[in-house]
Amino acid sequence: MSVLDIFKPAPSIEPIQDPEQVDKDYKYWRWRTFYAMWAGYAFFYFTRKSFTFAMPIMQSELGLGKFELGILGSILYISYGASKFLSGMLGDKSNPRYFMSIGLILTGVFNFCFGLSSSFWAFAIFWGLNGVFQGWGWPGCAKLLTHWYSQSERGRWWSAWNTSHNIGGSLIPLLVAACAGYFGWRYAMYVPGVICIVAGLFVMNRLRDTPQSLGLPPIEEHRNDYTTSKKAREKSSLTTKELLLEYVLKNKYIWILAVAYFLIYVIRTAVNDWSMVYLIEVKNYTMKQAGLCLFWFEWGGLFGSLAAGWASDIVFKGKRNPINILFTVVILFLIAGFGLFEYSSTLLDSAFIFLFGFFIFGPQMLIGMAAAELSHKKATATATGFVGCFAYLGAAAAGGPLGAITQAWGWNVYLITLFSCGAIAALIMLPLWSIKTNPKEIAAEAKAAS
């Protein structure tokens, strides 16, 4: 028996025959699954963003330049983006209970190792390894969200889960600031690392694999929420290669979403990473005033995620792309307004940052969900990992390349670049407005049932 056997999907067991017991167990396990993966993903942000908020102190204490610090940030984005795709393929064939929890534990270990280091090359190695295992968080969540929550309700559950980004992202600056302020920057890496090791053990204890591994029927059967007949799904059987080629790499919907995700992440990362510098340089804010404005970004994202998920379920009946397009169009107006308003007003700029978060986190969440639903249920982690890889290439492009553009041509060209990204993203997603499920999957499963 190999140690890797722990990652194998949990086998299905004898189905529970009592309908009342099925209802009771489903209710219990859906909530348990939700809070475990919500908490686990929030803690992934502790080890993903710890370095970001420790950078100013590292810069002064170690003499690292902005270029070196920027390189470390790019290493994380690139290693994380590549890992999201590769681990997505593994995640579809793995047990999320162990895949997600062990990934979280290892990010804690590498944060601790980073804190023990003093050379740039050690920082680069450990931060790159952190990025690799950061990629183990998303595939498990994608698989669990697809297998435990059906399409007609998934937008609300997915959006509620997505708030883990915002809660984790808003708490980590407070934790890092306290640790660094009292004990130094190394403890700003040690403490999140230890917390995530403990959190990984908690997630391992709480999570399980698919409903069938607990003797429960598939969620579509339990809620009578099939896109095709039950018989068709039972007969549908595809290899990993077929799923990757036919439902991801040859899937035009996935490529459209991947390019749109790249562009949306340029905007998201730019607003998150550059707004403080913009407000200080353009509007002469103090660091405290700029930080107060930026505080509202994650809270806008929290409410935006919930609103986007609810609207995609209730208003658009499970279609995700209308919300992606409409929210992106609003972002265009926000970029224009943010650039045209020249006066300094922390209240108004805080409102702008809140609204940026609100409307950016809508497509940030729903493009990933659309990729899951426009591929195949058995390829959800692969599809979301693939588009996620493009997303983090966009995040990397918002670092050095966008910084170089801004340094060479100024903040107006920075805003024009963001506006162009949003306009292109909205246009290329227009053909997906009415698409809810991959027609190829429906046709293949209908053929299998005939």
Concatenating the DSSP letter of every residue in 100-123 gives HHHHHHHHHHHHHHHHH--SHHHH
Question: What are the chain's domains?
Answer: 18-219 (1.20.1250.20), 238-450 (1.20.1250.20)
What is the full per-residue pLDDT of the chain (450 aa) written as tens digits? 566 678 888 999 999 999 999 999 999 999 999 999 999 999 998 898 888 777 767 877 888 776 777 778 788 888 988 888 788 778 778 899 999 999 999 999 999 999 999 899 999 999 999 999 999 998 889 889 989 998 888 888 988 898 898 888 778 877 887 888 788 889 989 999 999 999 999 999 999 999 999 999 999 888 887 755 444 444 456 666 777 787 888 889 999 999 999 999 999 988 887 887 788 888 888 767 877 788 788 889 989 989 998 998 888 888 889 999 999 999 999 999 998 887 778 889 999 999 999 999 999 989 988 888 888 877 777 888 889 889 988 988 887 788 888 888 888 999 999 999 999 999 999 999 888 776 655 555 545 545
The count of other CB atoms within 10 Å of the CB of residue 259 is: 17
User: Residue 433 — φ and ψ, nearest 5°?
Assistant: -50, -50
Sign of CA dihedral 151, 27, 11, 35: positive
Name the nearest CA neighbour of 240 among 98, 377, 93.
93
Do the Cβ atoms of 370 and 320 come closer than 8 Å? yes
Predicted model pTM: 0.77
Question: Cα 102 to chain center, whole Å?
Answer: 18
Run of H or E residues at 40? helix 19-62
